[in-house]
Structure 1
Amino acid sequence: MDPDAEVDFDMSPFLVRYKSGRVHRLMGTSRVAAGEDATTGVTSKDVAIDAGTGLAARLYIPTDALGVRGGHEPEKLPLLVYFHGGAFVVQSAFSGAHAPFLNALVSAARVVAVSVDYRLAPEHPVPAAYDDAWAALRWAVESCGAEVSSGQEPWLAAHGDAARVFVAGDSAGANIAHNVTLRAGGVGGGLPGSARIEGMVLLHPYFRGTELVPSESAAAAWSLEKAEQLWGFICAGRYGIDHPFINPLVMPAPEWAALGCRRALVTVAEHDTLRDRGRRYVEALRGSAWAGEEAVLYETQGEDHVYFIHKSGSSGDKAAEEMAAVAAFIQRGR
């Protein structure tokens, strides 16, 4: 049989890998152009961060913040570094799914955002995504407050506030946000200068483990065997499903002290099989040695995993309510 047609691993509905090594992505490959979004009043552009690895990002800013009138100093905004979801294997910072969501979030929270286009598995297994995320976060923080003429990214230099740094993500992106925040507060971590992560936002985080929680045990499609296979594919078998990368609940209470943020927000949805892991994450955080000030759990009834990505343009509904909760969390920053 032709190895370019013989399936090696079927990760539907995300992708299929063939024995030749060819990867065929079944979703998340669409791309929308950057520019001004008249509906939200947000402008975006694409930037390269590291040509060697291909690390790139899409930047977002409220359009009215770009104009400096009457000799006033440029408006300083919280810096939000965002990691998209997609099971570590699909989607991008430029996808048609995430661009509308980021436009809406930047408008609601009034931030300057860096949506990171990290490398995907299986071509680049975990921890490549974590390494890219960390590099992008450090790049973004270093760019904030720099002289605009210094060669740093001008939007961040003029408008980014390194004293108000937030990291966020949905699903696998929330997993990445957690691991980056853990690195920021751990031994050998730390952000440039005096910068610290003010807040971490985990939207329907992708965590698993061998000990099933109620929302998982009720879903045959998310059996332990399948979860182990998927995670093994994502990390090329380097880490088990109880490694802290994918199962932070195995961390002893003292180790949570390394989580380098002052506040945390975790959101879950009633019909999401990952729901109870998000709940237990908040419980573990509250009962740990973490020195943060606030760990908030936000729950949505009657919805499934990352429903808000597909409903980000609607108003007066659950997606808009969740967006408002995230924006309020960011705006409470010092």
Structure 2
Amino acid sequence: MSSMQEKMIREALAAMDGNAAGSMQEKMIREALAAINGDTAGDIAVNLFPFIRKYTDGRVERLLTSSYVPASKDARGGVVMRDVVIDSGNGVSARLFLPAAATTGGGTRLPIVLYFHGGSFCTESAFCRTYHRYVSSLASRAEALVVSVEYRLAPEHPIPAAYDDAWAAFRWLESLSDPWLAEYGDRSRTFLAGDSAGGNIAYHTVARASRENGDDGSIQGLIMVHPFFWGPERLPSETIWDGTTVFPAFGVDWLWPFVTAGQADNDDPRIDPTDDDLASLSCRRVLMAVAGRDTLCDRGRRLASRMHGDVTLVESEGEDHGFHLYSPLRATSKQLMKSIVQFINQPSPPAPAPAPPMRWPATILSELDEWSTYGDDTSNSSQILLGMPTRAYKAIFADRLDTKSKTGPSSNTAVNASLTIGCRRKASKSTYGISFGRTRGYNYRGIAAAGSQRQHPFRGVLW
């Protein structure tokens, strides 16, 4: 443990008042301090209570867990489920949640949600009771086919293992190789979602898809609920700790170095994205949900404000990190679920209408026809229509577009031309805003033109 971490522990313990006495945060601090001092808990190497502890002998104790439950084959709660293997080599699997109504016919395809559970990258599971219950409810209420991914956990499998597993799951989803995805899923309405660490994983999966697939429109939306992002500097919500919130800032400081096996610190762009990373996201819409008492809430707000495009920010006042998972019947939990369901089922924005075909006024057409028969020393030239300007002719030249400048001959390019506006011919008033021009090609000096000194002139309408 670093001297800085030890100093933070001692300062936090000294700052605690009587209201925090006996809290789990006090227990976490005292056990960590005991580990430093070599006391009764001296075999603890890393203490991230209430999530995980790692001991000096290599043992890992996961503290925040819920029991595993099997997939339900009957339509309990209106949803049928089954488990699938995505990558047997890395142990990547998933639980699929399908609204039972979809199996009764009708042919309506459902939105697909690829979901990543939270748990600080090191605890919880797609198959545990907490996420089984939550994702089943999401599938039922949103009428969506949800794929809840079981990815590898740190510290046994440090980051980027979780990112790699998420990418494998996304590629598997894209292939539509599963019969439920092929028969019931609407690939054009794919959403990536997650809470806490899962929100971070969902973000990075969208970012990778944007880099590798480009803006193909395949990802309709990104949903991040209380996502884990951090940084070296403190935001306002990270400076306030009353001893009762889930995440004290000094505890979060330890998390990323721990789950990356000491290979990264809190200035890592994977938890503190750059503006370029955010600008590259190609999903159509983003929903960011934050909780008012969550230490991470200002981090989520700032991330949402830096994103481009259609971004929805949902704030749950007076709530802490992950409240919706453990108190699903609370009014704020129901409202958060409603916001997510509305986001998933929101109609897609219409595709931009194709531009109408260009139609030339009769006065211009007559002049173009006259121009095509205009005789000069370039009678073998071909007529080329390059386009119409979006601004008036005078406005173009007001911006100092010097179309009369001539470039020198080059031995490296086949066509290096100079432009003469009007070709010594005065344009009529009816052609205001259109540039008539002729280019003269210089003699090409490359190998392919050896022995030939032909010119390649052409005429056209330029803008």
Moved more, 131-140 or 29-38: 29-38
1:190 alignment partner AA: N
SS in 2 for 1:97: helix
Shift of 1:255: 3.5
- Report the aligned-residue RMSD: 2.1
Question: Where does residue 207 of structure 2 map in the other structure?
Answer: 182
Question: Where does residue 52 of structure 1 map in the other structure?
Answer: 89
Answer whether contact 2:219 2:283 (CA < 8 A) is retained: yes
Question: Where does residue 343 of structure 2 map in the other structure?
Answer: 329
SS in 2 for 1:260: coil
Structure 1, unmatched stretches of 5+, are 144-151
Alpha-carbon distance in 1 for matches of 2:94, 2:254: 30
Alpha-carbon distance in 2 for matches of 1:269, 1:17: 29
Shift of 1:224: 5.3
Of 187, 200, 203, the residue aligned with 2:222 is 200
Shift of 1:190: 1.9
Shift of 1:8: 2.1
Alpha-carbon distance in 1 for matches of 2:229, 2:63: 23
Question: Where does residue 119 of structure 2 map in the other structure?
Answer: 86
Of 127, 133, 138, the residue aligned with 2:160 is 127
Moved more, 213-222 or 235-244: 213-222
User: Where in structure 2 are the equivalents of 1:114-193 lying within 5 Å?
Assistant: 114-143=147-176, 152-186=177-211, 189-190=212-213
Shift of 1:120: 0.3
Q: Deviations over 1:107-131 (max 9, x none)?
A: 1111101000010000001111111
Alignment CA distance shift 1:39-1:214 (3 Å): farther
Of 271, 277, 294, the residue aligned with 2:299 is 277
Alpha-carbon distance in 1 for matches of 2:250, 2:257: 11
Higher relative contact order (CA 8 A, sep 6+): 1
Shift of 1:10: 1.6
The total of aligned residue pairs comes to 305
1:105 aligns with 2:138: yes
SS in 2 for 1:247: coil
Question: Where does residue 300 of structure 1 map in the other structure?
Answer: 316
User: Where in structure 2 are the equivalents of 1:13-32 lying within 5 Å?
Assistant: 13-32=50-69
User: Where in structure 2 are the equivalents of 1:226-305 lying within 5 Å?
Assistant: 226-248=251-273, 251-252=274-275, 254-285=276-307, 290=308, 292=309, 294-305=310-321
Alpha-carbon distance in 1 for matches of 2:145, 2:279: 28
Shift of 1:64: 1.4
Alignment CA distance shift 1:113-1:19 (3 Å): same
1:9 aligns with 2:32: no
Structure 2, unmatched stretches of 5+, are 1-37, 349-463
1:120 alignment partner AA: L
SS in 1 for 2:112: strand
Alpha-carbon distance in 2 for matches of 1:300, 1:29: 25
SS in 2 for 1:212: coil
Q: Deviations over 1:74-103 (max 9, x none)?
A: 431111000000000000000111111111
Q: Deviations over 1:160-216 (max 9, x none)?
A: 111111000001100111111111112xx228x956211000001111111111111
Answer whether contact 1:164 1:333 (CA < 8 A) is retained: no
Shift of 1:219: 2.2
Answer whether contact 2:75 2:100 (CA < 8 A) is retained: no
Of 310, 318, 325, the residue aligned with 1:309 is 325
Answer whether contact 1:210 1:224 (CA < 8 A) is retained: no
Moved more, 154-163 or 10-19: 10-19
Alpha-carbon distance in 2 for matches of 1:29, 1:123: 19
Alpha-carbon distance in 1 for matches of 2:109, 2:166: 23
Alpha-carbon distance in 2 for matches of 1:29, 1:232: 25
Answer whether contact 2:291 2:297 (CA < 8 A) is retained: yes
2:339 alignment partner AA: A
SS in 2 for 1:40: helix
Answer whether contact 2:249 2:295 (CA < 8 A) is retained: no
> Computing the radius of gyration over CA atoms, which structure comes out larger, 1 or 2?
2
Question: Where does residue 446 of structure 2 map in the other structure?
Answer: none
Alignment CA distance shift 1:16-1:279 (3 Å): same
Shift of 1:11: 1.7
Percent identity over the alignment? 42
Alignment CA distance shift 1:258-1:37 (3 Å): farther
Q: Compute the TM-score of the two structures, normalised by the length of structure 1.
A: 0.86
Shift of 1:36: 4.9
